[in-house]
């Protein structure tokens, strides 16, 4: 797996981290995220022109990269592979958004929209009931998560902590907070799909 001809020192260092990440190293995972988070984020921000979307897409890009990290081969730099994943994911997002501008997708696509504060501003009683049912389904799924995932979801979406506040509360790096949130949301989405609620 030593195809490093023409690689920069940074690219070669990335390869070592990737190998550790493939073995399940959280430290390597966090290091890679901290190295590339800002550059991926600003690239995506230019593509979507929206801070919140760019933040979510950045987390998704890293999530997808690490879910598929075993498929990476050092024929080209890891950064090239990562940016391609981020770009493709962003293009898919833009395409879906253009196809459904009125937000006709899954009600669970954005957990931020399903909060108590959001519900309190919904004037229509029928919509309130439907949203309450969605919240109950989500709460039941969250309660079934492992404690660390349950805690991070509760802090972010129920108590509305910022990434920085969660990092302080749990004493972990912000990169780990975002990675754990992505994993927790992925688990929730999988349960929703399996139970037919999506």
Assign 193 a pLDDT band (cuts: 50, 70, 90): low
Options 1.10.10.10, 3.40.50.300, 1.10.1740.10, 1.10.1660.10; CATH of 111-194: 1.10.10.10
pLDDT score, position 6: 61
- Distance between CA 130 and CA 19 in Å, rounded? 46
Residue intervals in the chain for CATH 1.10.10.10: 111-194
Residue intervals in the chain for CATH 1.10.1740.10: 9-99
pTM: 0.50
Query: Which three-class secondary structure state does DSSP give residue 63?
Result: helix
Phi, psi of 195 (to 5 degrees): -90, 0
Options 1.10.3720.10, 1.10.760.10, 1.10.1740.10, 3.40.50.2000; CATH of 9-99: 1.10.1740.10
Phi, psi of 72 (to 5 degrees): -75, 130
| pLDDT above 80: residue 113 | no
- Distance between CA 129 and CA 124 in Å, rounded? 9
- Write out pLDDT tens, residues 138-178: 777 777 778 888 888 888 877 788 888 888 998 888 888 88
| pLDDT above 80: residue 133 | no
Residues in the chain: 198
Helix and strand counts by DSSP (H, E) for the chain? 9, 0
Q: What is the DSSP letter of 108?
A: T
């Amino acid at each position: 797996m030593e195809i490093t001809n023409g690689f920069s020192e940074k690219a070669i260092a990335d390869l070592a981290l990737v190998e550790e990440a493939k073995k399940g190293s959280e430290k390597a995972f966090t290091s890679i995220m901290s190295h590339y988070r800002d550059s991926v984020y600003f690239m995506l921000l230019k593509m979507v022109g929206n801070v919140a979307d760019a933040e979510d897409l950045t987390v998704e890009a890293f999530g997808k990269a690490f879910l598929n990290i075993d498929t990476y081969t050092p024929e080209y730099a890891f950064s090239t592979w990562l940016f391609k994943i981020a770009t493709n994911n962003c293009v898919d997002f833009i395409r879906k958004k253009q196809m459904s501008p009125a937000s006709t997708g899954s009600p669970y696509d954005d957990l931020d929209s399903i909060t108590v504060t959001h519900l309190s501003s919904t004037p229509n009683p029928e919509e309130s009931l439907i949203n309450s049912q969605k919240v109950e389904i989500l709460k039941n799924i969250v309660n079934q998560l492992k404690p660390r995932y349950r805690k991070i979801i509760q802090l972010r979406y129920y108590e509305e902590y910022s990434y920085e506040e969660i990092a302080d509360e749990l004493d972990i790096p912000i990169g780990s907070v975002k990675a754990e949130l992505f994993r927790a949301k992925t688990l929730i989405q999988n349960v929703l799909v399996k139970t037919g609620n999506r």
